[in-house]
Homo-oligomer: A and B are copies of this chain.
Amino acid sequence: MRRLRMGLIGGGPGAFIGPIHRIAAELDREIELVAGVFSSDAVRSRLGGESYRIDPERAYADVATMLYAERGRDDGIDFVTIASPNAHHLPAARLSLEAGVAVMSDKPATATLNEARELAAIIGNTRQPYRLSYTYSGYPLVREARSLISAGRIGAVRKVVVEYAQGWLAGAAMGKQAEWRVNPAQAGEGGAIADIGVHAFHLAEFVTGLRTTQLLADLASVVPGRTLDDDCQILLRFDNGARGVLLASQIMIGERNGLRLRVYGDKGGIDWSQEQPNRLTLHHADGRTELIQAADASLSGDAKWASRTPGGHPEGYLEAFANLYRDFARVLRGESGSLIPGIEDGLRGMALIHLSVHASRERAGWINFEV
């Protein structure tokens, strides 16, 4: 079975996420990076291509050119990965999908909710595969938590606490990665809510299987001069009546990438932290506390499928990301079983951003969560 061929959009010199996508995509040898638009500047795109060691001719300066040129090759790309700032997501996805090329996109889906709706329509029309890199849903023990809850191991979910604590934007934004994220022209409607809030939101819905029905948002721009939000406090209601809290902040100095999910049902609870991803705490109603570890024999099929090493050999962020690409490959190959999120989750994330930003600005209190 041949390796699927990937074209990367974004991820040029200085980018963090481009090389991450490349590593994740190729980790299991199901996918190969062969082309890309690493920059809109032709010279920089060539340099980007060199850094990835791809054929220099396949480092393009715009998406349309790449799509056209690759279509003409026997070994042309099977899909594009969009890893550019949010404002570029929709145009790049549109071109690709309409050219009959599948899309793996960074979250959030687009820069605005309206764009996401437009994208959803394009996907509907083109019927091309489109998936989103909600990376944290790729961790084995996240999938185990999902399996446990789905199997009723903690009973009916009552309470969800999800937090995503970072501190790297606690001061003035410095460097390419920081700058575009605080710039509405590039990032879109949301700051922290769009950058990390949507991850937390997706994780909560992914693991619990619940859907948010109402929210109350309290967002702020804490750093002086910042226009987009950098600190988010959101209360939630889910479709089964469960209650929740979502915290997302980029001004909590000292926090690296503190994504943590706790879910409590009427028979137990689970607790997982991204910075120690190979452990999952399972609380039982009778007071017992179980520590589930990656690669444990007791794990569900979904969690086992997502592991590559024996117990005690830590897997991390790149491997979780790679699991999304393995999922994506299953999608492209027409296989079943993929857990990678798609446009529905993308729309929900964009709705979260849009609703939170507006409701918070207007101090609107509880509002319905509608996509």
Closest B residue to A277 by beta carbon equals B314
In the bound complex, do residue B252 and residue A233 qualify as a contact, i.e. CB atoms below 8 Å apart? no
A234-261 CB mask vs B (1 if < 8 Å, else 0) is 0100000001010101011111111000
Does A276 interact with chain B (Cβ within 8 Å)? Answer: yes
For residue A260, give the distance in angstroms from its CB to the closest CB of chain B. Answer: 11
For residue A95, give the distance in angstroms from its CB to the closest CB of chain B. Answer: 26
For residue A334, give the distance in angstroms from its CB to the closest CB of chain B. Answer: 18
In the bound complex, do residue B290 and residue A288 qualify as a contact, i.e. CB atoms below 8 Å apart? yes
In the bound complex, do residue A275 and residue B275 qualify as a contact, i.e. CB atoms below 8 Å apart? no
New contact pairs (18) apart from A29-B52, A168-B310, CB-CB < 8 Å:
A3-B53, A16-B309, A20-B309, A159-B252, A167-B283, A171-B285, A253-B264, A253-B268, A254-B264, A254-B283, A254-B287, A255-B269, A256-B313, A258-B312, A274-B312, A281-B291, A287-B298, A309-B316
A288-327 CB mask vs B (1 if < 8 Å, else 0) is 1111110111100000000011111111111100000000
In the bound complex, do residue B253 and residue A308 qualify as a contact, i.e. CB atoms below 8 Å apart? no
Q: List 25 A-B contacts (CB under 8 A).
A: A16-B310, A20-B309, A27-B27, A154-B253, A158-B222, A158-B251, A166-B312, A167-B264, A220-B243, A222-B243, A233-B245, A245-B245, A252-B262, A254-B264, A254-B268, A256-B293, A275-B278, A281-B291, A288-B296, A289-B290, A290-B290, A308-B318, A309-B318, A314-B316, A315-B318
User: A266 to B291, alpha carbons, bound, how many Å?
Assistant: 20
A166-208 CB mask vs B (1 if < 8 Å, else 0) is 1110110000000000000000000000000000000000000
How many copies are assembled?
Answer: 4
Does A361 interact with chain B (Cβ within 8 Å)? Answer: no
Kindly list the 3 A-B residue pairs having the minimum CB-CB distance in the complex, ordered from nearest: A254-B283, A256-B312, A257-B312
A interface with B by C-beta (< 8 Å): 1-3, 16, 19-20, 22-23, 26-30, 52-53, 154, 158-159, 161, 163, 166-168, 170-171, 216, 218, 220, 222, 231, 233, 235, 243, 245, 247, 249, 251-258, 262, 264-269, 271, 274-278, 281, 283-293, 295-298, 308-319, 363, 365-366
